[in-house]
Amino acid sequence: MNYNVESVNPYDSERSKKEQIIEMFDSIASNYDQLNGVLSLGIDGYWRREALGALKKYPHNNILDVATGTGDFAILAHKILKPEYITAIDISEGMMAVGAEKVRERGLQDIITFDRQDCANLTLNDDTFDAVISSFGVRNFEDIDKSFQEILRVLRPGGIFMFVELTKPDKSPLKELYSTYTNHIMPFLSDLFATEQKAYNYLPSSIEAFPQGREMMLILKKNGFRRIRLRRLTLGITTMYIAEK
């Protein structure tokens, strides 16, 4: 099944989404962290901590971080969960290069390793990971169903898939304020940072098209997950999903 968000591309409709996502994130990798903190008003750290805290009661010795970007979620997972291993994967070499430098600075290279992987075609063994995590990356998947099936495959029986995604608040006045922020203020701020404008025009469009709430829970169920639940954060600006294999 095709979902609307899979057709939302940063640049054009001629090339694959995967190719455009690689180009976009490679182009903004050097200042992604600084700008991301400004655009989220610093709240993204809270969202990530809350999400990882929910994993404490589950096995988490071996973690796969999907769409790791510059590695912040993997580094925070090490701090909060203290797993033995974290495999951090992404399709953008530029983003992972920034993440690898952070990991080296912290002396964590024996725990956190980076690997270029397409989450729809993982070259990882079946039943390997206790938990798969992702922060703000599922919107960028070219094929959500295939990616979820691959994630299910590499999880151990009983393993947890947890991801957080930006979502649209559905209650006034936050709904209107959020729309104004994402469609007008966010592109303005990205322009101040001299960042590629298309990358941050893509963000509100992909949020708008992303399957949310019950729809996302049904997609997870269709792809083989069970015991699926969600938690809305900051009045619905972000949603955390947890599902089991």
CATH number at residue 232: 3.40.50.150
The residue behind tokens 């510059």 is 70
Distance CA 198, CA 108 (A): 34
Considering only CA atoms, which of 153, 141, 163 is closest in space to residue 3?
A: 141
Asked if residues 62 and 84 have their Cβ atoms less than 8 Å apart, the reply is yes
Model pLDDT, residue 44: 87
pLDDT value at residue 186: 67
Mark out the alpha helices in 56-173 (DSSP H runs). Answer: 72-81, 93-105, 144-154
Cβ neighbours for 244, distance < 8 A, ≥ 6 positions apart: 158, 159, 160, 161, 225, 226, 227, 228
pLDDT of 190 reads 60
Q: Which residue bears the tokens 């997950």?
A: 225
Local confidence pLDDT in tens for the 245 residues of the chain: 789 999 999 888 889 999 999 998 998 888 888 777 666 667 889 999 999 999 999 999 999 999 999 999 999 999 999 999 999 999 999 999 999 999 999 999 999 999 999 999 999 999 999 999 999 999 999 999 999 999 999 999 999 999 999 888 777 776 777 777 777 666 666 665 545 566 667 878 888 899 999 999 999 999 999 999 999 998 888 999 999 99
Q: How many domains does the chain have?
A: 1
CA dihedral 73→43→144→87, nearest 10 degrees, is 0
pLDDT at 198: 67
Burial letters 209-237, b for 16+ CB under 10 A, else e? ebbbeeebbebbeebebeebebeebbebb
Residue numbers of the domain that contains 223:
4-244
| Angstrom distance (rounded) from CA 121 to CA 20 | 17
Residue 177 pLDDT: 73
pLDDT of residue 43: 84
Q: How many CB atoms lie within 10 A of CB 179?
A: 14
Rounded-to-integer distance, Cα 129 and Cα 116, Å: 17
pLDDT of residue 53: 97
